[in-house]
Amino acid sequence: MRNQVTIIGGGVIGLCCAYYLQKQGYRITVIEKGDITGGTSFGNAGYISPSHIIPLASPGIVAKGLQWMMSSSSPFYIKPRMDLDLIRWGVQFYKSANQATVDRNSPHLAKILLLSRELTSNIKRDLGNHFRMEEKGCLMLYKTAATEKHEIELGQEAAKFGIETRMLTAAEVQALEPDQELNIRGGVLYPIDCHLHPGDFMHTLKEHLTRHGVNLMINTEVTAFEKLGNKITGVITDKGKVETGELVLAAGSWLPVIAKKLGVHLLLQAGKGYSITYADVKKNLNFPAILVDDRVAMTPMGKDLRMGGTMEISGINKNILIKRVQSIFRAAKSYYPSLDVQFPQQERIWSGLRPLTPDGLPYIGRHTKYGNLTVAGGHAMLGLSLAAATGKLVEEIVGFQKTSMDITAFDVERYK
Ligand SMILES: Cc1cc2nc3c(=O)[nH]c(=O)nc-3n(C[C@H](O)[C@H](O)[C@H](O)COP(=O)(O)OP(=O)(O)OC[C@H]3O[C@@H](n4cnc5c(N)ncnc54)[C@H](O)[C@@H]3O)c2cc1C
């Protein structure tokens, strides 16, 4: 039964695993409790960002996080709760937020980001650009001298991995955005970054996989497993049993919940973010931009414009803290004062859950408890950026092939 692969989770990671596995002739079933029309992989900012080589857990984030936690409209928030997993996660996050760990992890992150960047362009060539992908770079915009200094340092760090940056004055950024009034001190352009419409990307993958015989079981929830010796032989769902040869867990923020049913412990927290999408914006942005001082992402997607941000660690829920969404909107208007958009009705506010590992590196690899279990998740704010490489690596792992890069840093048992 080596030929049958079951993937749990139909987010961008699950679908990219299916994409590469299907090309190798595996019989694939993807089980998804939703209907693959919404969720975290749909409403995100749409960046493919090799520029993001520094993990969330980095020096200064703990002090900054504590300061931000005093304000209900800050970009980062941890809701205190008595939860052992949250405490364990917090301890490991704290331990990772130092220069030595960042220096150790950044090269691995850079390598998988660059691999994924290349593979995403290959997917575009293979499937056609039905997802508004634009390969023109991404801007980091800032307002203060302190942020400028930090961005210069980040640019120097990126250069070590061959990632080009262009430091721009306010006037040079303005020349790239002639239709917008800009209120900034300056910016950095990362030409290698690109962006796309994540929802269209998901629809394109879904349509391609269906056409190529992948069995997409939507509105189907995995509830338990059957095992024989050290093999998982069956996946029990609310619609019946699916027999399996290889199993891939790609359940995003639900990874710990599903892994627990297999007696596997994965340290992971959900980091909620929000986005607002405006259709048919009259004078849209030319370039996607991160408003660095406020941690807000602005993405033109064809005629549409999306703004998103905030990191809220408050468990798995869809509650909307309106003050946080207002601060995204306020930041957008303060960088682009002439932007002609209004704060939306609550029902137009989207929220999604980033799957956060403590050290900011994903979990990609086999778990030694079983002979046929692979984990692919925990990509935090980089799930779209890393989806193609993760899919490729999982295809290699499932086939017991040499992987395209060293994956020891992504060890799924590093917090055992
Ligand atoms: C505001 C915001 C902006 C972002 N911007 C970017 C960006 O610009 N670039 C970038 O690279 N990343 C970005 N991200 C992060 C990115 O969206 C995520 O990392 C990525 O979507 C995670 O994909 P996933 O497939 O692991 O998880 P998901 O998309 O959450 O998919 C997991 C799926 O598993 C399913 N599932 C769970 N349990 C079960 C079960 N028991 N049975 C069946 N199915 C189950 C869930 O329903 C879910 O659909 C952003 C995130 C947010 C919130």
Given a contact cutoff of 8 angstroms between Cβ atoms, the answer to whether 370 and 262 are in contact is yes
How much is the pLDDT for 70? Answer: 61
Evaluate: CB of 389 within 6 angstroms of ligand 1: no
| Interval between CA 200 and ligand 1 midpoint (Å) | 15
How much is the pLDDT for 73? Answer: 73
> d(Cα 302, Cα 391) in Å, to the nearest integer?
27
| Interval between CA 12 and ligand 1 midpoint (Å) | 7
Given a contact cutoff of 8 angstroms between Cβ atoms, the answer to whether 278 and 341 are in contact is yes
For the stretch 7-54, pLDDT in tens is 999 999 999 999 999 999 999 999 999 999 999 999 999 999 999 988
CA–chain centroid gap for 407, Å, is 18
| Interval between CA 40 and ligand 1 midpoint (Å) | 4
- Looking at the CA of residue 380, tell me the nearest atom of ligand 1: 19
- On the CB side of 259, CA atoms within 13 Å amount to 28
SS3 call for 66:
helix
How much is the pLDDT for 69? Answer: 64
Structure tokens at 241: 């049993």
Place of tokens 């593979």: 119
For the stretch 64-99, pLDDT in tens is 766 666 666 777 888 888 899 999 999 999 999 888
- Predicted TM-score (pTM) above 0.85: yes
- Looking at the CA of residue 351, tell me the nearest atom of ligand 1: 53
For the stretch 360-412, pLDDT in tens is 999 999 999 999 999 999 999 999 999 999 999 999 999 999 999 999 999 99
Residues 154-159 have a mean pLDDT of 92
- On the CB side of 19, CA atoms within 13 Å amount to 29
Given a contact cutoff of 8 angstroms between Cβ atoms, the answer to whether 6 and 248 are in contact is yes
Structure tokens at 78: 């941890």
CB contact set of 352 (below 8 Å; sequence gap of 6+)? 39, 40, 41, 42, 43, 44, 272, 273, 275
**What are the distances in angstroms from CA 242 to CA 221, 263, 302?**
12, 19, 40
* Percent over 70 (pLDDT), the chain: 97
Residues 272-286 have a mean pLDDT of 96
How much is the pLDDT for 1? Answer: 42
| Interval between CA 147 and ligand 1 midpoint (Å) | 29
How much is the pLDDT for 288? Answer: 98
Evaluate: CB of 385 within 6 angstroms of ligand 1: yes
Q: Which residue's alpha carbon is nearest to atom 2 within ligand 1?
A: 44
Beta strands in 230-380 (DSSP E): 231-237, 240-243, 246-249, 269-278, 289-291, 296-301, 304-313, 349-356, 363-366, 373-377
Evaluate: CB of 299 within 6 angstroms of ligand 1: no
Residue type at 294 in one-letter notation: D
Helix (H), strand (E) at residue 362: none
For the stretch 116-150, pLDDT in tens is 999 999 999 999 999 999 999 999 999 999 999 99
